[in-house]
Amino acid sequence: MSKSVIIIGCGIAGPVLAMLLKHKGFDVVIYERQSEIQQSGLTLGLSPQTFKVLNILGLAEPLLKECQALDEGVTYSQVRKQELGRIDVSRMRRGFGWPLVLAVRTRYCQFLYESAKERGVEIHFKKRCVDVLQEDERVTAVFEDGTEAEGDLLVGCDGLHSAVRDILFGKEEVTYMGLVQIGGFSPTPEVLKSDKATMRQFFGDGAHFMGAPVSSDQMVWVTTIPQPTEAREDWRRLSLEEAHEMVKGLQAASWENGPKQLIAGATGVTKYGLYERPILDIWHKGRVVLLGDAAHPTSPHIGQGANQAMEDCYHLVRLLCKAGPFTDTSLETAFTEYESIRIPIVRKSVAQAKKEGERRVTVGKEACDARDEAILAGGGHDPERMKVQMELIMGPFVGESEI
């Protein structure tokens, strides 16, 4: 008997989960609240975990062609006016089989959506999930337009503001972290033209700037700054007038050797506040389970949000395959094991990202000196962050995939 899965959300996790489930013979339908795939956001760092999971579907190599692989990372102290170190990122491919890349989020979403459609996944837009009912081993998703959908189980892949999470565990506000990021895309300025694909980080006093190539002639840049008044988590592209107004007061707009030129050349600018939610001890209730940002939103400073979502997809599908016939008991076992594998890892990832965000906005000469000294001693990276990141990118499996 076929097993039917309802997925709420067609961001990053939703389509990948759907394709993996379909690949293993499940019936699957995605419901997305937007009227089309979202055309907003900047870039996502994709590390080997994403490629390992997409390789199960034959999508890793095609995705690589859509992304910019990075060769090196250079860290610079804007306080000391000194380079703090250089890391050879290209060795990641040698060590882990897949590189570290930057994906333009809109392009990545479109790629996943098209791939899911090609594989026959049914996707419905303009379907905002507002309730989930569970009765007699069936789950019903209720949508804002009054329609309903029924399945054997439901996965909430509906992001930071997950409605499914609120429905399961009660509404709780997301917490503004006191940081905003302002970023955009710009033509590569003369001063940053290079044979190597280099991600550059500039650590200042109370501000951080990152610039990296997304193609042979375009770069993405993002500056992180503290802002006590809450800024919306809004990935909308600003109008040129709004953008001009926004960037002229930025500290990094006067930093030479890249930041100044990138900010001045911006063709589109986005500003968003960073938010967090506690990581729950349990991600499921009955036949409904959370995945990706719905379960564990993260600040973006170590580039793990999208990659951790891929690990969730891998383990959930692997465990659902192992579960045999869907009964309340077999699903309870699968969901409990999924949580016991994933929760310790995402706790580590989210905590490290938060710490990295705080380090980026270090204030005061003495504190900045201590931070810069640590990066210098680590050869261009904070050793603790590197240790955690190296552990994370080993996931979700070593050797052969089990699905």
Ligand X SMILES: Cc1cc2nc3c(=O)[nH]c(=O)nc-3n(C[C@H](O)[C@H](O)[C@H](O)COP(=O)(O)OP(=O)(O)OC[C@H]3O[C@@H](n4cnc5c(N)ncnc54)[C@H](O)[C@@H]3O)c2cc1C
Which range binds ligand X by CB under 6 A, 55-63, 151-159, 188-196, 379-387?
Answer: 151-159
Return the residue of 292, 357, 380, 395 that touches ligand X, per CB under 6 A: 292
Return the residue of 44, 56, 199, 310 that touches ligand X, per CB under 6 A: 44
| 313 is a contact residue toward ligand X (CB under 6 A) | no
Taking phi over 0 as left and psi of -120 to 50 as alpha, with beta for the rest, 146 belongs to left
| 33 is a contact residue toward ligand X (CB under 6 A) | yes
DSSP string, 196-244: S-EEEEEE-SS-EEEEEESSSSEEEEEEEEE-SS------PBPPHHHHH
Which range binds ligand X by CB under 6 A, 70-78, 158-166, 369-377, 389-397?
Answer: 158-166
C-beta nearest to ligand X: residue: 11
Q: Helix H segments across 4-67?
A: 13-23, 48-55, 60-66
CB neighbours (10 Å) of residue 301?
A: 23
State the binding string over 224-253 for ligand X (x if CB under 6 A, else -).
-----------x------------------
Return the residue of 71, 152, 158, 276 that touches ligand X, per CB under 6 A: 158
User: How far apart are CB 142 and ligand X at their closest, in Å?
Assistant: 11
Residues 109-128 that bind ligand X (CB under 6 A): 127-128
Total of chain residues touching ligand X, rule CB under 6 A? 33
Tokens of residue 328, six digits:
């309340």
| Nearest CA among 109, 66, 107, 73 for reference residue 88 | 73
Tokens of residue 327, six digits:
């009964």
Question: What's the chain's length in residues?
Answer: 403
Whole-number Å distance between alpha carbons of 181 and 184: 10
| 55 is a contact residue toward ligand X (CB under 6 A) | no
Give the interface with ligand X as residue ranges (CB under 6 A): 8-14, 31-34, 38, 40-44, 105, 127-129, 157-159, 163, 235, 292-294, 300, 305-306, 309
